[in-house]
Structure formats: C-alpha cells, structure tokens
Structure 1
Amino acid sequence: MTFRRLPLGLHAAFPALVLAAALAGCASPGSRFYTLSPTGDAARTAPAAAVSAGNPAWLIELAPVDVPPQVAKAQFVVQTDATQVRVLEQERWASMPGDEIRRALSGDLTQQLNTIDVYGSPHPDNVPVYRVSVNVQRFESWPGSHALIDAVWSVRALDSQTVMTCRSVLNEPVGEGYDALVVGHRRAVADLSQAISSGVRALAAVPLASAPASAKGGATGGAKSAVRMKAPASIACPQMVPAAASAG
C-alpha cells in the first residue's frame, strides 16, 4: 500500500479546513428569546409607580405561578391541533413560563394597586397583606389563531384569613408569527391582573365585625371596647371578573 503526500501548501492548510468543516456541520439557526414583562412605555413609567407606593395602604404577596408540566420549559410549545403540540427549539422564553407570568403579573398588580409585592421580603406588621396565588391550568399557543390562559387564582387576607377563589379564562386572538403569540399572552396576563386587582379591592372593602370586650375586661375597665372579629371565611368573586366563579 502506498500513501500519497499532500502538497506542502495544502498540508499546512488542512487543519484549518477540517475545523471549518466541523463548524459548518454544527452550525444552527440562532434562538430568539421572548418575555412577558412590561416593555416600552409601561416599563418607563414603572419607576414613578414604585416611588408613589412608598407608604401603601396594603401589600401583596404574589406566590410563584404554577403552569402545566407540558409547557413548563424554555422552548415554545405550540398547538398544531386539539391533541398534538410542537416544541420549537429556536423560539424560547427568556425565563421559564411560570416565572414570566409571575413577573408580568407582579408588575401589573403593583401599578394597578399602587402597592409593593413583598413576597420573600420582610414587611411591617401593621399593614394589611393580601396573598395572591395563581394556578395556570391551561397555557395554550395557537399560531395565527389565539393565545389562551385558563387560571384559577385566589386572594387571601392574612389578618382575617378571608379568601376569594376565582377562575378566569382569557382567550386573545392573534395574528401570524410568534411575536403575535407573545403579544396575545401579554394581553391575557394584563386581563388576569385586572381581575385579580378587582379581587384585592373587593376583599379590602369587606368590613370586619366587632363585639364588646369580655366581661372580665368590662368589669376592670368599666368601659366597653371593641375587639376585632374575623370576616367571612370566603366571599364571591367580583362581577367584572371574566369567567369567574367563587369557590364557596
């Protein structure tokens, strides 16, 4: 067996040619990343809203948002029909979908309620706190058709433990393209935040009952004082909440 020697010039360039061929074989289209967080004018007005919420009438705690396991991934998961989905490697969320929804909701709620989201942060004991929980049961992306969010959410007053549990189904029509899908989901999140804001306001407006002090306190003090009583264990959802139903 005989071996042919490469010409000197080609021999010197051979490693570079091999590297270029390997890189060409591994090359793939770049990924695009999308977010549901407020942008543009909404983002520019956020600092002013934060300053005005320095002494809010109440606080909120927005817990991490649950989403269905099949869409809990960085890649877009789009519906092709009622029983099939497609996972898109090049179209991705900037963070996991549950985190994207929570960040967008937190930004909307703090502005709409002129408050602060204190989840995971210390807060004063004398300021009412409303804990918000969101469980997204459906997060569907239909390219060129619609974006759908079906969520069960609750608001709980931590001082009285009064709770409101509701369901909102938000279905936003979208045009062609993945940018349109993101815009549709952003509108659905905005509608969801409006529903939750109305729930917080309704819960904050529930009067707390009062009763005379105990006989022992009345005997020693001689004056009647009021003690704070718990509000009803649950209340109905606001009428304006889309597709909402109270949990009883």
Structure 2
Amino acid sequence: MEENKLRAALQEKEIVFEQHFYLYQKNVRRFENYIKYDAFKDLKLIFEIYSEIFHLRGYNYNKLTPDKMEKLLTPFSISEQRELLNHLIKSLSKNGNDDEAKEMMCILNDVELKYYWEKIKNGQDFFTSLFKLFLKGISYNLYILLLMIIIYLFFSTLIFCDAKFEIFAIIEVKKISFTECVWSNNFANLISYLFELDEKMEVKPLNFWGVILLAFQKAFLFLVIGNYLIMEMFNKIKLQ
C-alpha cells in the first residue's frame, strides 16, 4: 500500500511537471511579453519539480541536457540565466542530485564567463569584472589550471636566463649551479627562488619594473592555485 501511494504521488508530480512545462513552452511561443514578466518565476518552479522527480526516478528520458538548457535559457538575459542556473543547482542539491548539479555547474561556468565579458564590454565595473573574468577563466577546469601553471613555469624559467636581464636590466640574479643543462639549471633556480630553498640563490630588483615583475611572479602561481582551490570549496558548499 505504501509503495502504491509513493508511485501515485510520483505520477502526480510527473503530470504536474509535464503540464507546467507544456504551458511554459506554449506561453513562450504565443506571448511576447511572457518572457519579460512570468517566464522567469515559472521556470524556477519547473526546475524545482524537475529536481524532485529526477531524484525519485532518474528522469533520464526527459533529462535537462546542455542542449535543452541552452534552448531554455536563451530568451533570458545573462544575469537571469545565472540566477536560474543557481536556483536549479540548489534545487538539485537539495534533493540529493549532486552529479546532476555538477553538470549544471559546468553550464553555469560558461554563463558566468559570458556575464563578466558582457559587463566589460558595457564598461560596468570594468576592472572588477576583468579580474573576476580572469579568476573564473583560470579556474574553469583542471586542464586550464595545469596549462596556466605550465605557461607560468615556462616564462618564469625564461626570466632566469642571463641574456634576458642584460637586455632589460630590471633584475639581478645570483644563481646556483645545480646542473650543466641551462634549462634544467634555470628551472631548478626558479623552484629554489619560489620556495626559498637555498639562501645562496638571490634575485634582486634593479628598478620599479623589477619589483613589479618579481611580485607578479611570486603572486601569480599562488593566485592561480589558490583561486582554483577556493572555487572548488565554494562549489562543494553549493552542493550541500
């Protein structure tokens, strides 16, 4: 009896979901002002019902795939898309659909990149938006993070080549001889400098630009890794 009641309740929710979704699609097609006034809150309700059904049944035959989400979100502004996705993620997490919520967070990352880029183009909070876009970009996924670290290490190793300093004359490097290979030795000196492993290895700025270069060089790596870890932490908090 209890099982029959649960099935009946689930079927009722499925019917409600289908009715709401059908009316939503119908209103979007028929009424131009629907998107401006009622579509936003209606879609939030649809997301809530969807989250409940997905948890109970695994609503695979009508799963909100990235393609479907793109079609649903396209009529809305970027800021509205962010809010809708955040609402869907919270609803999915609340109902125990963590894997599905993670998929939606990938879509949210794309939307947020567009959001900050749009703000930059419109001149809204230019520097703040640019900084947030940069942080969002470097924490987009693990592959981007690894790529940024590789690029950082490559250019930082170049900085430790003596010829570069003779041209720009902005820093002075007293290197330690770890190996006969120039690249390996420069890389070893870079690691020694970043983590202060040997006091004999010294890097001194010769002017203002040298100070900026060294400050950026030390801060960038920790900013990239730290930002990624912080973003991962916030993502886990969202899923709780």
More helix by proportion, 1 or 2? 2
Larger Cα-atom Rg: 1
More strand by proportion, 1 or 2? 1
TM-score normalized by structure 2?
A: 0.21
Higher RCO by CA contacts (8 Å cutoff, separation 6 or greater): 1
TM-score normalized by structure 1?
A: 0.21
